[in-house]
Structure 1
Amino acid sequence: MTVLDQPVRTGAALSIRGLRRSFGSAVALDGLDLDVAPGELLALLGPSGCGKTTALRVLGGFEQPDEGHVLLDGEDIVPVAAERRDTAMVFQSYSLFPHLTAADNVAFGLRMRKVRTAERRARAAELLELVGLAGHGDRFPHQLSGGQQQRVALARALALRPRLLLLDEPLSALDARVRLTLREEIRRLQLELGITTVFVTHDQEEALSMADRVAVMNGGRLEQCASPTELYERPATDFVAEFIGTMNRIPGRADGDGTVDVLGVRLPVEGPAGSAGSGPVTALVRPEALEIEAADGGTGRIVATAFHGPTTRVRVALADGTDVKADVPTHAAAALTPGTTVTVRPRQRPVVLAAAGGVR
């Protein structure tokens, strides 16, 4: 019977209720509430100091909250010691034992649980094969690349068959190509095993490409938790709108009829602001939602361009002093050189309006 065939306790439901944690006068978690469905991969995303790592350490039992509860399949695990929680954490720094081989590192937790030698060796070999390291079991950490060491750390975590897998920025120390490969492998394994996973990262691309849902945090609070598509297209707050991807802030005028005039184009407004009154507003518009055309007497002038493969990002200074960024197909960008006078107009897409205190 292989690792994947054996009965495992995966797919646990996780509920976080009212978590608070302070370090002196610094508030790391300020009443965090979150639910993670069985088998879901949830990414905690936010700037440094937003509380995402503290939240993960509370889930793993490495930090005690000042207030709140962590329910795993309905059981509050806050009073439970870290080693008895049926959780496993993969750290950014690998944390492998340098004097143990890859196989022995994977089997270490099993040895602590007094699993028989033959069984733990067999499970370690199967898990190393599962993470693409078959034949590497006799190598020591210094004989492995960074990506291989992180695969060993992942296999070691999976060896204990945890109900909850915690990933603390496990890819940040790797180069870009290895990160891309390993994040695809982690997602494949997570789906294959059906294990509930909470993944901390500051990398938007990682979060949006890997997670079922992304929880955006700021100042110890949850700003929004939603699918990557919803976060990008329907941000709930100003912070999310400008933290996820790139967002232009363009002056416009609302007429109280559910539309707004932006650069001479009337656009529908998304969300409750559609029924807002008339007056000056700020429209939040993505770079790909702007069209640019070279034109004498246009509304702006190109300041700079940046090549991004299939698209080129064009920075334009508008006549009113507003700077905007637009993404255009690279094949159409040859004539859009710095100094060129252009007309900028938004595509016919719903927009979100910014207002004091957040997105309206």
Structure 2
Amino acid sequence: MTDLMNDLETTSHTRTGATVELRGLHRSFGTATALDGLDLTVEPGELVALLGPSGCGKTTALRTVAGFERPDSGQVLVDGEDITGVPAHRRDVGMVFQSYSLFPHLTAIDNVAFGLRMSGVGKAARRARAAELLELVGLPQYAGRFPHQLSGGQQQRIALARALALRPRVLLLDEPLSALDAQVRLTLREEIRRLQRQLGITTFFVTHDQEEALSMADRVAVMSAGRLEQCAPPAELYERPASAFVAEFVGVMSRIPARAGANDGTVDVFGRTLPVDGRLPGAAEGAGGTGEVDVLVRPEAVDVTADRTGTSRIVGAAFLGGTTRLTVRLADGGEVMADVPTHAMTTLSVGATVTLTLPDRPVLVDRHSRGSGGDGG
């Protein structure tokens, strides 16, 4: 019996993940640049989400790892081995697509076993492995059903089982949940994360959904224009963004026009002088010597107080359960998002005038955006 067949017949699901390195990847399509010197290392057993706006290059990066795209320059290495020129079918990589891509004429168990059959694994061994995987994804009772007899979530589980059948060193997930409804997405993302941890497989997860990325990933790689803006654990990404792009792309962020202090590392905002967290490029740089900057602030950091003499006004409120997100219009016409406890809405109704304050801690500051308006409070 081959080594592959021996491996498939083991009872353990655990396999040490591989290290994947993307080094200086460049890829262009005509005049459009998809990857512009992308560098990223994913550690063994790690799940890294590739997140960014449409056209940022995240899917091209995934397809380059899979072998479906060949970079114009740069390297893809797995455990130190350069696989840039290796055909897709020889890369020991499993991939799950957004559209399931199951064979409609095959049953669930035969779909799972398809790759094993193509690899020459005997019928008994591949059926046993496929049955094992159906058990792993919670669908052993659907082994004999065809794809059209399964729900979208069930089909995606079958696709995941098929991708895992050959025990790949790397798993690639290309927006696998985007075609599913909200409740199924929530359930399946938890199951994918559980399986990924159980198997210890190195995983790339492409998504446009920030909540998915932040809830599932060990690290989130935020991309823009084919380059990596920041790769960090979710909490660090949210609380300590490395650029204004990351700060505004991940979560909700308001820009509050303010005035930088006289080279003293402070900024005047909402009538208070606060220290500047100077990590962002352009922090505390005035526009044309005027000292105008934008303070970047999360909704949960804005304190809202009902004030009949206040110069700001609540113009919108969105119920989010225990919190309500307010849209507050400043005196200059700019708007700020603020999260408040829902029980506080007895005094903070739409139309009420309010005063806004920020906590006494360093604030993120970026170059002033002319579209933001002037000072407000």
Contact 2:284 2:367 in 1 (8 A): no
**What pairs with 1:271-310 in structure 2 (closer than 5 Å)?**
271-272=278-279, 279-310=291-322
Q: Following TM superposition, by how much is the alpha carbon of 1:116 offset from its aligned partner in structure 2, in angstroms? A: 1.6
1:258 to 259, 265, 270: 265
| Deviating more after overlay: 249-258 vs 185-194 | 249-258
2:41 is the alignment partner of 1:35? yes
Partner-residue secondary structure (3-state), 1:309: coil
Partner residue of 1:219 out of 215, 225, 229? 225
Instruction: Judge which range, 272-281 or 290-299, deviates more.
Output: 272-281
C-alpha separation in 2, matches of 1:329 and 1:299: 22
Q: Aligned match of 1:192 in 198, 206, 216?
A: 198
Partner of 1:331: 343
Decide which moves more: 257-266 or 201-210.
257-266
Paired residue for 1:66? 72
How far, CA to CA, are the matches of 2:160 and 2:283 in structure 1? 50
Alignment check: 8 A CA contact 2:293 2:368 kept: no
1:161 aligns with 2:202: no
Q: 1:227: Cα distance to partner?
A: 1.1
Deviations 1:86-124 (A, max 9, x none): 101100000000111100100110111111211111111
TM-score (norm 1): 0.95
CA contact (8 A) 2:55 2:225 kept: yes
Pick the aligned partner of 1:206 from 199, 209, 212: 212
167-176 or 111-120, larger mean C-alpha shift: 111-120
Deviation at 1:275, TM superposition (A): 8.9
- Corresponding position: 1:80 with 2:86: yes
For 2:206, what is the secondary structure of its paired residue?
A: strand
2:329 corresponds to: 317
User: CA 1:221–1:9 in structure 2 vs 1: closer, same or farther (change >3 Å)?
Assistant: same
From 105, 111, 114, the equivalent of 2:117 is: 111
Q: How far apart are the structure 1 equivalents of 2:106 and 2:13?
A: 28
Trace 1:9-48 onto structure 2 (pairs within 5 A): 9-48=15-54
Task: Name the amino acid aligned to 1:59.
Answer: V
Letter in 2 for 1:340: A
Normalised to the residue count of structure 2, the TM-score between the two structures is: 0.91
> Which stretches in structure 2 are left out of the alignment for 5+ residues?
1-6, 370-377
Instruction: Show structure 1 runs of 4+ deviating over 6 A.
Output: 1-4
Q: What whole-Å deviation, never above 9, does each CA across 1:143-176 have from its counterpart, x for those lacking one?
A: 1000000000000011110000000000000000
The CA deviation at 1:205 is: 0.4
Secondary structure, aligned partner of 2:153? helix
Cα shift at 1:225: 1.0
Q: Distance in 2 between matches of 1:356 and 1:11?
A: 45
C-alpha distance after superposition, 1:332-351 (max 9, x if no partner):
11322221111111123432
Distance 1:3 1:39, change over 3 A: farther
Cα distance change of structure 1 residues 275 and 49 upon mapping to structure 2, 3 Å threshold: closer
What is the correspondence of 1:321-360 to structure 2 with a 5 Å cutoff?
321-355=333-367
Q: Which runs of 5+ in 1 are unaligned?
A: none
Aligned length: 357
Percent identity of equivalent pairs: 70
